[in-house]
Structures are given as C-alpha cells and as structure tokens.
Structure 1
Amino acid sequence: MLGEIEDKRKVPDMLQRILRYDIQVTKKFVEMSQNITALRSLRIHSKFLEVSCHGIVWLAGWLSFIWFFNNRELYQLQVNMLFALILDIIVIAVLKAFVRRRRPLPMNKLLPGNPDKYSFPSGHTSRAVLVAFILICIDPIYFIFYPPLLAWAGAVAISRVLAERHYFLDVFAGLGIGVLEGLFMSLIWFSQSTAVSVITSLADEKKDGGEYHV
C-alpha cells in the first residue's frame, strides 16, 4: 500500500529536470539582482508589494469599499470584483494543495511555521494580473491609470522571485491563471441589475440585523 502511494507521488523525470532548471535559473536571477540597482530596490520593497496584493488585505479592503461607498454606479464593479477575488483565492488554494511544491528554502527557514508553505502557483501574481485585467479590459478605468496599474502588477510578480517566495514557474503559472480568471469573469460578468440585487439584499440584511439584534 505504501509503495502504491509513493508511486503515485513520484514526479516524472522530465518534470524533475524542468523543476531543477527552474530552481537554477531562479537562484541565478536572485544572485544577479544584487548587482542591478532597479532589481535590488524592488527586492527592498518586496514586503510592501506582498502586502499590497495579499488575499486577505484585498478581500477585507474590497468589502470595506462596498460597505462605505454606496453608489449604484459602482455596484457592478464592486460585486464582480468581489466574486473574482473569492474565485482566485479558491483556485490558488486548490492548486497549491494539489501540486504541493515547496517554497524556496530561504522562505522555509525564515518562516518555519508559515501555514502557506506551498509555492505553486503564485497567488499574489494571479491576483495582481486578475485585478489589472478587470480594470483594463472588462471595466476600464481612466487610461492614465493603466501604466501605474501594469507597473504594480509587474512589480508584484517580479518581487515574488526576488524575495525568494516563489520560483519563476510559480510566477508564470500565476500570470496565466490570472489571465484565465479574467477571461472567465468577462464571460460571466454580472449585469448591473444583478449587482444591484446583491448589494440591496446585503443592505437589507444589515438593516434587519440592526433592528432585531440590538
């Protein structure tokens, strides 16, 4: 029985070679970044970029945005983005649990008790790409904000490697997943009427709670 489990978990030789090459390229890139001012600066700010695209931060922040900014013109974006963020968190969690690729060693040494110990795919990257995709392709914001939004998404992705949180394959996978999630959202994008119904129902629950649970 144990032998069968080990056989199921055995990584194919071709995939092992790809993963070893990925580790080598990532390690060389991180070492090389020490000699490049822009990359060195990006690594210094990697913690800030990590927080700026953390799943809990975005989920809590977006719920607060919905709560405090009660504007019918924003309802459609508010509801769809909330759904997209939840979708991304679920997809990344399932893939990490399935693939179970360990993070780079420095991460494991720094945070031995870190509950999120798997690296593939990069959730920060997928989330940054998904947010950028929605705000540029589905529900466009002003064009003037495109460059900083794309710069932020790119900086988040590169910083994941520089901070030794992920390997390159993790980041590339996160990028692809973010795009696929964005395409999926473009297909199921909830209408204004649906969004209004959702927000209205939430507001009614809030009022009911205030009346009966004081």
Structure 2
Amino acid sequence: MGTKERSGVIGEVLKLDVLWTKKLVTFVFQYIPFTKLRLHCKCLEISCNGIAWLAGWLAFIWIADSKPLYQMQLNLLFGLILDIIIIAVLKAIFRRRRPAVCSDMLTLGPDKFSFPSGHASRSAFIFMFFTMLNPVSEILWMPIFSWTLSVCLSRVLLSRHYILDVLGGMGVGIVEALIVGLLWIGENAASNIINYVTNDYLPGGEE
C-alpha cells in the first residue's frame, strides 16, 4: 500500500486498521505488561519463521526417511515453498510499511513490508494441513489451533503487523491449503520423487 498516503475508501480502511490495532495493543498491555509477553511473542516469532520451517522440514525429510511419510512430507514442503512465493509477491505488490521497524526483528534479509503477514499465512496453512489435508490425531488439533492464534496475535503485539495484515495472511494461508489440496501429490508420485532425488543427487546415492 506504499509510502504514499491513500485516499478514499482504502485510505479510511487503513486508518481504521491503524486505530484498532493501537486499541488492541493498548487493551492487552493494560492487563499484561509487554515485558512479560515479549519473550513469549519472540519465541512464537521464531517458531513460525519461514526459513526455519523450510530448513527444518528438509532436515526432517532427510532424517525420517520412511515411505509412509513421503506423501505428507512432500505436500507440506510444497505448501511451505508456495507460501514463501505468494507472500513475497503480495508484499511486493502492496508494499505496505510495517507499524514499526524494530532492530530486533527476527527476519532474514530485508523485509520492510507488512501486508500480508507471512507468519499468519504459514501458521494458518499448517493448521489447515494437519487438520484437513493430512489430519493428525484430533487430540492435537486444539494445541495446533492455539499455536496458530498465538502466532497471529503476537505479530500485532510485537508491532510487526496491523490487524488487517494478520487477517489477510490467515486468508492467504487458507487459500494455500486449498491449492495444495487441489494439486495434492499422490503416494506413488511422492515416493518416486523422493526416491529419485535421494538416489541420484544426495551423497551416497546411486550413480
């Protein structure tokens, strides 16, 4: 949404977004001081970092080399890559500045833009993946849902994003889950892809 001030309906919406974001942050900090929430929010920030998830998931695929897991592993990897691409494109289009540029921001590379929130989209996608696309035990649904909501709220409390950034990100995450569902990689295809890569390109693979 750029550096220039917007006018008309969009401008009014953005002003209301800023206003309600400030009201939400003020309301929360009336009851819980920021110093008590800061560590929790930063841990949540790390827990949903895009590069950390991508690197960690690739390591998981490498370590947990099990055929029954291939389909789940590859489809989630596809979703994580899709999320990074879509968020990067949308941020480049809208170019909305963050509420505040913090020196302790845990991002890799220049990431000055706010809409939509990549943490929100990623956490929403992961929730949808493990509850709808590749359901885990229902006992784990509530912890994953709580983590997703906590990540989204922490983005506002840390002044990384406005409320609309987070809501937009959650919407993007849901759409990403729908796309992955439509383009779902089947068991045989996932097995063939992972076996092809590990056998031909990884150290110790077949020549």
Q: If the length of structure 2 is used for normalisation, what is the TM-score?
A: 0.90
- Is the Cα–Cα contact under 8 Å of residues 198 and 205 in structure 2 kept in the other structure? no
Number of residue equivalences: 203
- 1:65-80 alignment, distance < 5 Å: 65-80=60-75
Decide whether aligned partners of structure 1 residues 135 and 211 sit closer, same or farther in structure 2, where only a CA change above 3 A counts: closer
- Partner-residue secondary structure (3-state), 1:19: helix
Partner of 2:135: 140
Partner of 1:151: 146
Supply the distance in 2 between the matched residues of 1:38 and 1:73 (Cα, whole angstroms): 46
C-alpha deviation, 1:11, in angstroms? 3.4
Structure 2 stretches lacking a partner, 5+ long? none
C-alpha deviation, 1:65, in angstroms? 0.4
Q: Identify the structure with the greater helix proportion.
A: 1
State whether structure 2 residue 179 is matched by structure 1 residue 184.
Answer: yes
Percent of residue pairs bearing the same amino acid type: 42
Aligned-residue RMSD, C-alpha: 2.4
- 1:63-142 alignment, distance < 5 Å: 63-105=58-100, 107-108=101-102, 115-142=110-137
Report which of the two structures shows the higher radius of gyration computed on alpha carbons. 1
Supply the distance in 1 between the matched residues of 2:82 and 2:57 (Cα, whole angstroms): 14
State whether structure 2 residue 195 is matched by structure 1 residue 200.
Answer: yes
Alignment partner for residue 15 of structure 1, among 10, 18, 28? 10
Structure 1 stretches lacking a partner, 5+ long? 1-5
Supply the distance in 1 between the matched residues of 2:17 and 2:32 (Cα, whole angstroms): 24
User: Which moves more between the two structures, 41-50 or 73-82?
Assistant: 41-50
Letter in 2 for 1:96: K
Partner of 2:41: 46
**Structure 1 residue ranges (4+ consecutive) displaced by more than 6 angstroms after TM superposition:** none
State whether structure 2 residue 35 is matched by structure 1 residue 33.
Answer: no
C-alpha deviation, 1:36, in angstroms? 2.4
- Is the Cα–Cα contact under 8 Å of residues 88 and 127 in structure 1 kept in the other structure? yes
C-alpha deviation, 1:108, in angstroms? 4.9
Q: If the length of structure 1 is used for normalisation, what is the TM-score?
A: 0.87
- Partner-residue secondary structure (3-state), 1:35: helix
Partner of 1:160: 155
